[in-house]
Structure 1
Amino acid sequence: MKTEINRKKLIEKLIKGDEKAYVYLIDRYYKELCDYASNLARDSFKSEDIVQNVMIKMWRKREKLDTTISIKNYLYRSVYNEFVDQYRKQMAITTLEKKYIEGLDSFVEAQSESQTFQLIAAVEKEIERLPPKCKETFLLNKKEGLTYKEIADYLNISVNTVEKNMVKAFSILRKKLKEKAYHFLFFLFGYKIS
């Protein structure tokens, strides 16, 4: 696609699942959309996540595209909406984190030193027993502080796979650890939520 494709024809090709049209769209708008998202999010990594999410969602819902829309306006509006969605989720997490931290503080104060060491040992033992991929993903996130995107890049897997590994790790740990030890897990590895 060497020349500018007219808007209607581009959308029609996208609707039909033409991968060349999708690649053209990414080549044409990706950097521009990342710059826009970066102005909103003030974070270059987060801005790339936002744009990638928008591009993936647009491809998945391509059959519903309207051939009369401006694809550029559609993408900009989608980036803005994705930013707002992520911001709302982050705000909800921050409020929840504060309440959780307060609860953990009172929990830790109520434990004796020997109880604390027993909890640490129990948590570390169950983390070691996790399936290898879950364990690696979990430790990269919770111990090393890497984001899901950074883990995906480092392990050469998708962000979705990282999310699945984290969900699986937490599910296994929740089943294996008693309630006190499971809550203590967050104390050990901080409060980073990706």
Structure 2
Amino acid sequence: MDSKRNLFLAQRLISGDSKAYDFLMEFYYQSLCAYAQSLCYDHALAEDIVQNVFVKLWVKRIKINPDLSIKSYLYKSVYNEFIDQYRKNKPVIYLEKKYFEAIDLVIDIEPEELGDLIKLMNAEIENLPAKCREIFLMNKMEGLTHTEISEYLNISLKTVEGHITRAFKILTEKLGTKMEAVLFLLFNFNKQKRQSSLR
């Protein structure tokens, strides 16, 4: 959405134009739900989050800065609503704090750019040397420790550590400084959720 259209819609929304509100909901609803679901991994909760965001958008429309991007405002509102909902439901333990920190590192990226970055990371993981990729995924996806991988594959602990270090080096060179945060979002939080479901 270009800046002129953004300004026009923001001004109409602030003035109480329900058609501008309906347009924004129709235009952004599905993409915001997809973004919310990428945070909470729950379709119903994702829809609740987005609906709450749009309710608050209308209630607090007078406070909107028309010079700011409506798109960025909505995505950050979804993120904030997700945090609020999550903290109401359960205490934030250490691993989840790391998850929120990881989100903070990438939250200023446009959602499409983040999606592209995740696709690129998956592609680069597939391009890792076979043994390097296998060990990296055993550690990051399956949650096995270096010692467990060493015993399972019957290789030395030093060899395992070398492959994981090499994988990180390759991915960092290809993907830059946000690589670790995206890795955490892709693997560690999902791994914790799977482990919790087995208890």
TM-score, scaled to structure 1: 0.45
TM-score, scaled to structure 2: 0.44
Query: Which structure has the greater CA radius of gyration?
Result: 1
